[in-house]
Amino acid sequence: MGDLPGLHSEDSSVQIGGMLGALHPSSADLLRDHMDRMISNWDCSVPDYASYPSPECFHTDFMPEIYEGWLSRLPAELNGKPLSLYVHIPFTRADWGTECGQACSCRSGRFHTHHRFPLHQVDAAYDSARLYVQSLLYEIDRIAEMIPGRQPVSQIYFGGGAADFLVPQDLQRICNRIKRRFAVYEDAEITMEVDPQTADTEEILELAGYGVNRVVLHVLDFHPGVLEALGRNGQNETQIRALMQGFSAGGVRHIDFAMMYGLPMQTEDRFESSMMTAGRMHPSRILLRGYRNPEEGGHGWSEDPERRRMLPDAARRYHLFRVAGDALNMRGYTPIGTDHFVRNADPLVRAMRKGKLAYNMLGYSFANTGATIGFGAAAITALPQGMIRNADTVGGYQDRLALGDLPVAKGLKYYGEDRLRREKIHELLCYFRTHLRGLSKAEQGTVLEKLRPYITAEMVAIRYVDDDFHLIVRERGRAFVRAICTALDSYYDAYLQGYN
């Protein structure tokens, strides 16, 4: 295996973040240049790791009957743990700016993640969405019938797209069907993604009566120049505040913002100002995501070659993320994992301090759920036995259900160390540290060899304690944590082949 630089070393890494502003100008410039070179060297395609293995590695010859068998044995596998449910609504009224939702994991940046889900846009005709709702209800029934008993549910997430595209009556039908088929906790967290361009406060408030208690507003940015470039001419701070007040008055307890870096016309000064504005408005949580690069199949601006040149490169994206994090720290928000910022009283902070923070298909969570079942086109299900993904397109999804089949397009059964590796990857994404206990000596050696470049670059420190290797991601390596996770990913080569 050879000697590994950094073995037994203490974590004395330079604090990047706010230190760039605190250093002498010449020192800050040198450190910035160093980070830019690192980003250029380490810019690569990596999975989001909300699911492990990533969907690119799933098998297209996966048999739906295997999934049916998993569902029939699910209560014994869960051992009393509740379920999380994800409902994919792949529609939006907007022409731009509504990326796939949190569970779809579109928090991209070339050195962050490249998880791509299709996003369907529809006009005022509602027929296709109404038919889609019928398909959702049928799938919910079919899945519930295959699971013995009414399984408890602690989380429900409506994402897409924008879930508020559906009229309240259709969302109510979905909520009622889920509650009829599953034992939803009274205090279950029920979240809905909302596009502020088209949000109807009165309609959404009807949903509070059905249990929706958290709303994620896809704000993206507050700067007028950026919003104009995105075609969001009607969005401003006053409008967002009015939405927040309406939601709060109607009983929606938690209002989150989804902000986005890497957008056209963004500069560090502009985005810092936008994030200070966001913090001043006191949303419960702020999710800081990266816009996908044009070669990854983004939308809107990236389809125009002339406009592509106005999108920031990887280095600028990093600095946009850094100034945003610094601004939120100044506003009193606590960073959680790679892209969440929350108030100090948030349950995620308590979970992190107690070592109970989880990372799953719905993002960061304090809920100790045993599995996530996804409903809808392109939805992913993660069970203790393995994972499946539904047909990508609305048409393909509906066609399979119309034939009486489950809409499974591909899947993967866990083998060997898959679950152990997933656990260690998620520990890195939650706490920026893990250990290699449980892996064979040969596999430990392979992981350490893959980490060698990151250790040499002082992104990772390795400590050998109690006959076990402990992996610590240093501050300067945290922007690259998903790339570091690839050292533990036995499917990474298959991911690259599937992605390309």
Q: What is the pLDDT of residue 9?
A: 30
Q: What is the pLDDT of residue 439?
A: 96
Element (H, E) at 465: strand 460-465
What secondary structure does DSSP assign to 361-422, as a single string? Answer: TTEEE----SEEEEESTT-EEEETTEEEEE-SSHHHHHHHHHTTS--EEEEEE--TTHHHHH
For the stretch 204-221, pLDDT in tens is: 777 787 889 999 999 999
Please report the domains of the chain, with CATH numbers, ordered by start residue.
19-28+418-499 (1.10.10.920), 55-380 (3.30.750.200)
Q: How far apart are CA 154 and CA 84, in angstroms?
A: 6
Nearest to 217 by CA among 271, 245, 171, 256: 256
Mean pLDDT of 416-422: 95
Mean pLDDT of 337-361: 93
- Asked whether the beta carbons of 41 and 34 are under 8 A apart, the reply is no
Place of tokens 């070339």: 110
pLDDT tier, 139 (very low <50, low <70, confident <90, very high otherwise): very high
The mean of the pLDDT values for the chain is 84
For the stretch 171-213, pLDDT in tens is: 999 999 999 999 999 999 999 999 898 887 777 777 787 889 9
Which phi-psi region, left, alpha or beta, contains residue 137 (left: φ > 0; alpha: ψ -120 to 50)?
alpha
Q: What is the pLDDT of residue 176?
A: 94
- Specify which of 284-293, 299-308, 397-406 reaches the highest per-range mean pLDDT: 397-406
Long-range contacts of 227-234 (CB under 8 A, 24+ apart): 228/265, 229/263, 229/264, 229/265, 229/301, 229/310, 230/96, 230/97, 230/263, 230/264, 230/300, 230/301, 231/95, 231/96, 231/97, 231/300, 232/96, 232/97, 232/197, 234/197
Q: What is the pLDDT of residue 94?
A: 57
Whether the pLDDT of residue 42 is over 80: the answer is no
Cα–Cα separations (whole angstroms), residue 260 to 8, 264, 328, 348, 439: 38, 11, 14, 21, 37
Q: How far apart are CA 458 and CA 71, in angstroms?
A: 45
pLDDT tier, 71 (very low <50, low <70, confident <90, very high otherwise): very high
Q: What is the pLDDT of residue 367?
A: 75
Q: What is the pLDDT of residue 304?
A: 64
Q: What is the pLDDT of residue 2?
A: 40
Whether the pLDDT of residue 116 is over 60: the answer is no
Q: What is the pLDDT of residue 91?
A: 84
Q: How far apart are CA 179 and CA 185, in angstroms?
A: 9
pLDDT tier, 290 (very low <50, low <70, confident <90, very high otherwise): confident
- Asked whether the beta carbons of 23 and 17 are under 8 A apart, the reply is no
Which percentage of the chain shows pLDDT scores above 90? 62
For the stretch 225-280, pLDDT in tens is: 999 888 888 899 999 999 999 899 888 999 999 999 999 899 999 999 999 999 99
pLDDT tier, 346 (very low <50, low <70, confident <90, very high otherwise): very high
Mean pLDDT of 374-401: 96
Mean pLDDT of 330-347: 95
pLDDT tier, 96 (very low <50, low <70, confident <90, very high otherwise): very low
pTM of the predicted protein model: 0.86
Q: What is the pLDDT of residue 37?
A: 73
Whether the pLDDT of residue 62 is over 80: the answer is yes
pLDDT tier, 23 (very low <50, low <70, confident <90, very high otherwise): very low
Cα–chain-centroid distance for residue 435?
A: 24
- Asked whether the beta carbons of 93 and 195 are under 8 A apart, the reply is yes
**Least confident range of 259-263, 367-371, 380-384:** 367-371
